[in-house]
Amino acid sequence: MKTRRVFSAPDIGTAENALDAAIRMGIRPDHAALVGESEIEMLQVPDAQKEASPTDFMPAALRGIVGGSVIGLIGGIVGMVLPAVGMHWSGVVLTTLVGATVGGWSAALAGSSVPSEVRRDYKQEIAAGQLLVVIDEEDEAVLERASDAVAAAGTRRLQVVRHGLLH
């Protein structure tokens, strides 16, 4: 399981140096990102260093597909079991597919307006103009080495926050 560490950097130079240090210590480039206010990200952060998804679009879409599929499947099975409805097994498949489509579409639409987890959890740091250096890693030894290198580059490690609550 990946562990996430988040650090606060006062400027883009410090943030880029910290990100480079994390990568040199073994963090894969696709597991490291810089997050900041949209204006700062657009003007100063290279695309390769930006957070992959600034919204909750994909996780919401996947949850919607699963939920919609389950509801469609249950509806189809109920329709097949009730003699008055007289649904065939192909109707069960159809209701499952329709449920997945509608669930995925509606959840993705809602998720596209929800900021990513990091943006939600550390919105005060971002609003204060800080850049966040975010690293994810499964190997604890690599994570510790990278965390030490990121902190040595002039960043401050932030406590884990879950929607406004410190953990």
Residue recorded with tokens 């480039």: 29
Cα(68)–Cα(51) distance, rounded to whole angstroms?
Answer: 28
Please write down the long-range contacts of 39-47, taking CB distance under 8 Å and 24 or more positions apart: 40/12, 40/129, 40/131, 44/12, 45/12, 45/15, 45/131
| Token output for 42 | 């657009």
From the options 3.30.70, 3.10.20, 1.25.40, 3.40.190, give the CATH code of 3-53+116-166: 3.30.70
Q: What is the pTM of this model?
A: 0.57
pLDDT in tens, 28-83: 887 888 787 755 554 444 444 445 445 566 777 888 889 889 998 998 888 888 87
**Amino acid, single-letter form, for residue 117:** E
pLDDT in tens, 95-142: 899 989 888 888 777 766 555 677 777 778 777 888 888 888 888 888
Residue recorded with tokens 């069960």: 92
Given this model, what pLDDT does residue 101 score? 85
- What is the domain partition of the chain in residue ranges? 3-53+116-166, 57-111
